[in-house]
Amino acid sequence: MTNNTVESFYDNQWCSSKNREEYDLILAMLHHAIEFSYTKLGDLENKQILDLGCGYGTQSLFFSSKRAHVTAIDISEECLKHIQTETITKKLKISTKKCDAEKLPFLSESFDLIYINSLLMHVDANVVLETCAHLLKKNGKVIIIEPLKAHPLIKIYRFFSNYRKTNPKYMDLNKFKEMSTYFGSYSHQEFYFLSVVTLPFFLVL
């Protein structure tokens, strides 16, 4: 799938209240992983943070509330419009930029933290992570939440999910370990191995 097609999909996703309900569902399912990622952030005050593939801006808004300097990047203009509205409502400050994650227009060593949530399945992960390594300041970190390839039952949900239209290329741990060479250290935590059991309840609600 081309970047233009992915862009169109997400623009339509955020314009549709029905499709945004699925986003809220996925966000709920990722709740524990997101909360865990926050424990790895450290003190965010005055830190330069790049939220790469920011989506609806949930994490960007959280970072800004902690007095970080946040740059939110997404390919979807509709996503960014929502963030801009929310920053006004919540009296926060976030710099937004419509941008392809594979062509980031920033100088080397610009960010203390780069946060990625469910983006790598839509891009050339090697290109994006190698670029991230150059964009990090000394002792900076990249935090990634990403759906992995999983057992067959999860594929049933993905088959019916609206997101299948983006033809995602799900990562696996071997791929992450391979790309960890771009960084000084690497660790991972897995979540939701049994969460597939709850999917029928989510699909019914």
pLDDT one-digit tens code per residue, 29-71: 678 888 999 999 999 999 999 999 998 899 999 999 999 999 9
Give pLDDT tens digits for 129-147: 999 999 999 999 999 998 8
Position 150 scores a pLDDT of 67
Q: Which residues pair with 184 in a beta bridge?
A: none
Buried-state track 67-92, b at ≥16 Cβ within 10 A, e below 16:
ebbbbbbbbbebbbebbeebbeeeeb
pLDDT at residue 197, as a whole number: 46
What span, in angstroms and rounded, lies between the C-alpha atoms of 205 and 82?
25
Taking the C-alpha atoms of residue 22 and residue 13, their distance in angstroms, rounded to an integer, is 9
